[in-house]
Amino acid sequence: MCNIWFVGNKQNENYMKILIIGGNGTIGNKVSSHFSDSNEIIIAGRTSGDLIVDISDSHSIKSMFEKTVGLDAIICIAGEAKWDDFDELSEEDYYIGVKSKLMGQVNVVRIGRNYLNPSGSITLSTGILADDPVVKTTSAAMVNGGIHSFVQAVALEIENGIRVNAVSLGVVEDAYDKYKDYFPGHNPIPMKKVINAYARSVFGKSNGEIIRIYD
Ligand SMILES: NC(=O)c1ccc[n+]([C@@H]2O[C@H](COP(=O)([O-])OP(=O)(O)OC[C@H]3O[C@@H](n4cnc5c(N)ncnc54)[C@H](OP(=O)(O)O)[C@@H]3O)[C@@H](O)[C@H]2O)c1
């Protein structure tokens, strides 16, 4: 990574080449546009972006990384799980979250570390459901909790100075109207706090940290 210091309204962050998977989504869009101010951003997504990837397919993840060179940071803000009543969720329904949000992000770490510069970082995305679930989220809460445990454990073993963290958010301001009925009494998370959580993971020194932003 090159040490370029910015002046004026730019941040004093090291210039980095950052891959943002899900960088065109609701959260990803705000994070990418903030980081693009003083870093090189590559956006990957399922249907749009500089690179196309389906994180539920490890071959697709590998093929995406093959098209990258010299990444300093990988951020994943993508992954799905099915929301429904516990009585309605079939075994197959659980596998949607397991393949996409859980193993998708685990595979981003497993494969992506080989394409990162030494001392690079990988930031995954989870959410408040891991700690404070609401109804219809047995699958979504489960995969979020699984990622939290994975992040803490992989940080003990991953080599080359690579750091792995997860950003765990409450319902974000930009998605509040869509989700507010599922989260009675929850406060929307301001997008500035969301951006700062990712900045803390990428530009800070934490490793194995679950960066919780719940209010
Ligand atoms: N919104 C919230 O309040 C909130 C709070 C906590 C945690 N989260 C988590 O944060 C993540 C992003 O949330 P969001 O609200 O920004 O979602 P979003 O608006 O639906 O955006 C998701 C992005 O990820 C991409 N994506 C989805 N599945 C993918 C896959 N299998 N492979 C590659 N790319 C994929 C989408 O690409 P396409 O559009 O091309 O499919 C889109 O760019 C999710 O995992 C969500 O559970 C969200």
Q: Cα(143)–Cα(130) distance, rounded to whole angstroms?
A: 8
> How many angstroms separate the alpha carbon of residue 134 from the centre of ligand 1?
19
What's the CATH code of the domain at 62?
A: 3.40.50.720
10 domain-assigned: no
> How many angstroms separate the alpha carbon of residue 24 from the centre of ligand 1?
9
Q: Cα(129)–Cα(153) distance, rounded to whole angstroms?
A: 20
- Cα–Cα separations (whole angstroms), residue 40 to 17, 74, 144: 5, 12, 29
Instruction: Supply 86's token pair.
Output: 């516990």
Contact 124, 167 (CB under 8 A): yes
- Across the strands, what pairs with 211? 167
91 domain-assigned: yes
> How many angstroms separate the alpha carbon of residue 3 from the centre of ligand 1?
31
Query: Does the Cβ of 49 fall within 6 Å of ligand 1?
Result: no
64 domain-assigned: yes
Tens-digit pLDDT string for the chain (215 aa): 444 433 333 444 579 999 999 999 999 999 999 999 999 999 999 999 999 999 999 999 999 999 999 999 999 999 999 999 999 999 999 999 999 999 999 999 999 999 999 999 999 999 999 999 999 999 999 999 999 999 999 999 999 999 999 999 999 999 999 999 999 999 999 999 999 999 999 999 999 999 999 99
User: What's residue 7's pLDDT?
Assistant: 37
Domain coverage including residue 67 = 17-213
Query: Does the Cβ of 63 fall within 6 Å of ligand 1?
Result: no
Cβ contacts of 206 within 8 Å, gap of 6 or more? 163, 165, 200
Query: Does the Cβ of 22 fall within 6 Å of ligand 1?
Result: yes
12 domain-assigned: no
Domain count, the chain: 1
Instruction: State in Å, rounded, how far the first CA of the chain is from the last one.
Output: 33
Instruction: Supply 211's token pair.
Output: 């960066």
